[in-house]
Chain A
Amino acid sequence: MSKLGLWGLKKSPWVYHLAAAPCNNCDIEILELLTPRYDVERFGVVLVGSPRHADALLVTGVINRKSLPRVLEVYEQAAKPCLVICIGSCTCNTHIFRNSYNVVGPYDKHLPVHAYIPGCPPKPEAMILGVVKALSKL
């Protein structure tokens, strides 16, 4: 990985919003994050429509038997290097759904996760902090 490319990756993380059976609470906070109030374009963060353009997948929702193959497919379609950022307690540790019959565990059982942002839902400030921490680890 060249130095210039790494700098580019840190300065322009394009995010893809991957909603895998969430309750929409975290999604609304992600949309809040992208509004002019927080202006994440200052840091080069842009919401993209296709996983091929994504540098980071913002995943929300508890993973279950139905959504797992879809999530894996989207992850495989994303151009690497691609970070996975877990938004919300459901994605980090399955939260209140942990004893449910349909739940197949937290995301890090199935995908390489780069950042956990707990909260139900987490604040946009917490999401910015999580993305910064994930990028500074690169």
Chain B
Amino acid sequence: MSGFWQGAWTGWRLAFSLLVFPGFLFSVVIGFVLSWVDRVVTARVQYRKGPPFVQPFADLFKLLLKQTIVPEGASRLVFLLAPMLGMISMTITAVLLFNVNLNPQGSFVGDLIVLVYLFALPPLGLIIGASASRNPLSAVGASREMTLYFGYELPFLLALVVPIIKTAQVSGGIWTIRLGHIVMAQQQAGPFLYSVSGVIAAVLVLLAVQAKLGLVPFDQAEAEQEIMTGVYAEYSGVALAMFKITRAMMLFLLPLFLITVLWGGFGDWWAILKFLAIVVLVILIRNTNPRLRIDHALRFFWLLLGGFGILAVILAYARL
């Protein structure tokens, strides 16, 4: 009997952490607040007043009310399932990230790699959904999203090698890809950001975050002026709301991931200021840059940032 109650308690705790805190509900609410911050800071940059605090929630409720149209000739099942992919992966990401930071001992081998894959799922869902929608503009958007994904993943992965090398140096030559070990090494030896290679890696991750969020200068996949919001063009109602939710969760989780791997985790209250600094930096980059052409973006990521990534790895290896 006690085994049954123990199992029920574990199941309840798992369900709670997935659905309420730090999983779905918590990260969605924080993400929507951040998307309001994004819109207000954008408005202030343009000398406007900006929307009220409840605006993202009003958008969400309205989208839930609206009709969901499946375009004629589209693959119905794939078209409606694709938005869920990103949402589910971001929910799991929230649980993993909070677990690692609140309890660094409890992380499992290779959770850094799991997180990299989980962050790859939202663009994948976008590509699948856009390809299933049988819209030429969506197809262009999907192809751009794919190109962009291959572009930013290279500097992103090279930048993630830096904390792995530094963790090995701190812990005396023991190589590890546990996120918990990376957090603990930073608690022991100070955040990895405060070094030359750390700064370069943080800039690379920041630009990859910008591209993962689909914000200017890397919003080619949803360029309103060229391809009418591209990948989202055929989505309406609940399916569009799911994409908005995924985007909001990513706006919350990607800066959190950057803090975890390079800026000492978020065990203390300073983390909130660090977090807001990163978010505001992302918003300011978004508001002060033009959109790059897709081939320029690819060249930027592979040649320039890829070169800097290799440089950062070499510098990290030389303990700089």
Contact = CB atoms under 8 A, between A and B. Distances in A.
Contacts of B229: 48-50, 53
Interface residues of A, number: 25
Interface string B41-82: 001001111111011011111111111110000000000000
Interface in A1-56: 1-2, 4-9, 11-12, 36, 39, 41-42, 44, 48-50, 52-53, 55
A72 interface: no
Interface residues of B, number: 35
A98 interface: no
A36 B228 CA distance: 22
Given A2-B65, A12-B58, A79 B228 contact: no
Nearest to A42: B49
A80 interface: yes
Contact of A50 (B39, B60, B234): B234
B233 A7 contact: no
A12 B65 contact: no
B51 A8 contact: no
Contact of A12 (B43, B62, B237): B62
Interface of A: 1-2, 4-9, 11-12, 36, 39, 41-42, 44, 48-50, 52-53, 55, 77, 79-81
12 contacts: A1-B65, A4-B61, A7-B58, A8-B64, A9-B65, A36-B46, A49-B224, A49-B233, A50-B229, A55-B66, A79-B66, A80-B67
Given A7-B58, A42-B50, A53-B236, 10 more contacts: A6-B65, A11-B58, A12-B62, A36-B46, A41-B39, A44-B55, A52-B233, A53-B232, A79-B66, A81-B67
Interface of B: 39, 43, 46-52, 54-55, 57-69, 224-225, 228-229, 232-237, 240
